[in-house]
Amino acid sequence: MSGAGSRLRALIAEGGALAAPGVHDPYSARIAVNAGHRALYLGGNAMALGLGKGQPFLTSTETRDITARIAASVEAPLVVDAGAGFGGGAHLHVVLREIEAAGAAALHIDDQPYPKPVGYHFGKGALVAPEEMAARLRLAVAARRDADLLLIARTDALRVTGSVEETIARCRAYVEAGAEALMVLDLGPDRAAAFRAALPGVPLVWIGGVVAPVPTLGELSRAGFALACYPFNGVAAIATALGDLWAGLARDGTIGQAEDLLARARRETVALAGLEPLHRIEQEGYRR
């Protein structure tokens, strides 16, 4: 989608923490946009769960295709999780160009090893050498066609090492390599000041919401975050709501949804599918 990167940059320039709800398909994206959000986040975990598998097994082709479907269905700029680049330098070059062409406004590349171990989801994080991550970022800068495509470096160093100093050192190297914003896993409002002081002018991207309590947008804004990504809350809502619904049917043989809920859903799904203008065309028929 032409101009997606510039639109995202303009929204970030307004100041405060721009919310980017996590989505995984056009339906969830339109729900978020209709709720009033102006940017969206497409995380690897949500994409993989939408395909019925774990994040370590998500492919670059699937990431590209899901990006394209969402970018074609909404105007809101999309921040895309490009993982560790899906391979070596040549792979990263192709992946970045394909995700960019699919309509991404931004993407983040992380300093995890590739392939991503399943153990990551069981608390066993790992890091590549900072030099390897810096090389990934330099390749990404060279590969992008649109200078407005926002390149975000994600680091897991704070979680893996527990050291603010070591994480800041990595962040400096990543910015020198071409990263335009930083996503530091497990960085909350309480420790953001150290990163802002060490890296003045570099936008900080918050990512979280997996564990309560989740900071408010106000708290994130006051801490200096420019963007707030919520990778898990949408899929958590789907898992619990659908799980409870179908468990009730299996247990009691009944659907415990109120009439007003079903009536609202009928109205909203028609709007989400974009059927109203198409219905008007159908009613009017072909005109020469």
Mean pLDDT in the chain? Answer: 96
Q: Is it the case that residue 91 has pLDDT exceeding 70? A: yes
Predicted confidence at residue 204, as pLDDT, reads 98
Q: Is it the case that residue 288 has pLDDT exceeding 60? A: no
259-272 and 275-284 are packed helices; what angle lies between their axes, rounded to 10 degrees? Answer: 70
Q: Is it the case that residue 286 has pLDDT exceeding 90? A: no
pLDDT tens-digit readout, 181-227: 999 999 999 999 999 999 999 999 999 999 999 999 999 999 999 99
Three-state SS string over 131-194 comes to HHHHHHHHHHHHHCCCCCCEEEEEECHHHHHCCHHHHHHHHHHHHHCCCCEEEECCCCCCCHHH
Q: Model's pTM, two decimal places?
A: 0.96
**Domain boundaries in the chain?**
4-239, 257-288
3-state class (DSSP) for residue 126? coil
Predicted confidence at residue 1, as pLDDT, reads 40
Predicted confidence at residue 220, as pLDDT, reads 98
Structure tokens at 73: 């269905």
Strand partners, 227: 18, 205
In CATH, the number for domain 4-239 is 3.20.20.60
- pLDDT above 90: percentage of residues in the chain: 98
Count the neighbouring beta carbons within 10 Å of the beta carbon of residue 3: 13
Predicted confidence at residue 136, as pLDDT, reads 98
pLDDT tens-digit readout, 132-147: 999 999 999 999 999 9
Contact 175, 198 (CB under 8 A): no
Residue of 49, 8, 50, 4 lying closest to 25 (CA atoms): 50
Predicted confidence at residue 285, as pLDDT, reads 83
Average pLDDT over residues 102-125: 96
Any long-range contacts for 273-280 (C-beta under 8 Å, 24+ apart)? Answer: none
Q: Is it the case that residue 237 has pLDDT exceeding 60? A: yes
Average pLDDT over residues 76-101: 98
Average pLDDT over residues 247-257: 96
Q: Is it the case that residue 23 has pLDDT exceeding 60? A: yes
Average pLDDT over residues 18-43: 98
Q: In 172-196, which positions are buried (b, 16+ CB within 10 angstroms) versus exposed (e)?
A: ebbbebbbbbbbbbbbbbeebeebe
Backbone angles phi, psi at 71, to 5 degrees: -60, -30
Average pLDDT over residues 231-243: 97
Q: Dihedral (C-alpha) 142, 108, 203, 174: value to the nearest 10 degrees?
A: -60
